[in-house]
Amino acid sequence: MSTPPITVCIDDNVREVASLMRSNEIGSVIVLDNNSHPIGIITERDIVGRVISKNKKPSEIITGDVMSKPLHRIDPDATITEAAKIMRSQGIRRLVVFKDAELVGIISSDDIAKITPELFTIIKEKSSIDMIPAELETAGLTGQCEKCGNWLETLTEKDGQFLCEECFDEV
């Protein structure tokens, strides 16, 4: 998640909000009411769809008129899978992260997409590690013995090395 979340007031004009988003290189900000409670979100899509495409002047439009609401919330201890499921089911790209009643961050579909390749790598490595002993027990491994260097059709793993039958018995 991105933390701390960038916030704006409900009465701020859209030009100021767009400038803030640009300077922070972000695609959304959380909108706070006059009591500093989070009540909505304004995204680049909101600005384009509700201001620019309608030929409205951004400096004359306030965020409260173009924000998306209600906020879709998630707990910081939720899994990435839970976040992705909520986003998919609600047709949204961002979730606001609350710890109890306190706003602590925002997670976007881009955040999830950025870590997905790493997750696949971890899953692949874990599944490979878990599969090696079973594969070796049933099929053996073809390759070069790590002790004597001979090429064999069947190697067996022992203490982290792949060995031929002779070297296996010696270790």
Instruction: Give 82-106 pLDDT, tens digit per residue.
Output: 898 899 899 999 999 999 889 999 9
Confidence of residue 119 (pLDDT cuts 50, 70, 90): low
Mean pLDDT over each residue of the chain, to the nearest integer: 85
One-character DSSP codes across 67-126 = -B-SPPEE-TTS-HHHHHHHHHHHT-SEEEEEETTEEEEEEEHHHHHHHHHHHHHHHHHH
The CATH number linked to 24 is 3.10.580.10
Q: Does residue 20 sit within a domain?
A: yes
Residue where the block lists tokens 């047709």:
91
CB 159 within 8 Å of CB 171: yes
Short-list 20, 19, 12, 8, CA closest to 60: 12
Domain count, the chain: 2
Residues 109 and 148 in one domain: no
- Structure token pair of residue 53: 């495409």
**Predicted confidence (pLDDT) at residue 7 exceeds the cutoff of 60:** yes
User: CA torsion, points 84, 86, 89, 95, in degrees to nearest 10?
Assistant: -90
Residues 150 and 66 in one domain: no
Residues 99 and 153 in one domain: no
Confidence of residue 142 (pLDDT cuts 50, 70, 90): low
**Predicted confidence (pLDDT) at residue 158 exceeds the cutoff of 90:** no
Q: Does residue 70 sit within a domain?
A: yes
Packing angle, helices 109-138 and 80-90, rounded to 10: 130
Compare 14 and 160 and report the one with higher pLDDT. Answer: 14
Residues 107 and 150 in one domain: no
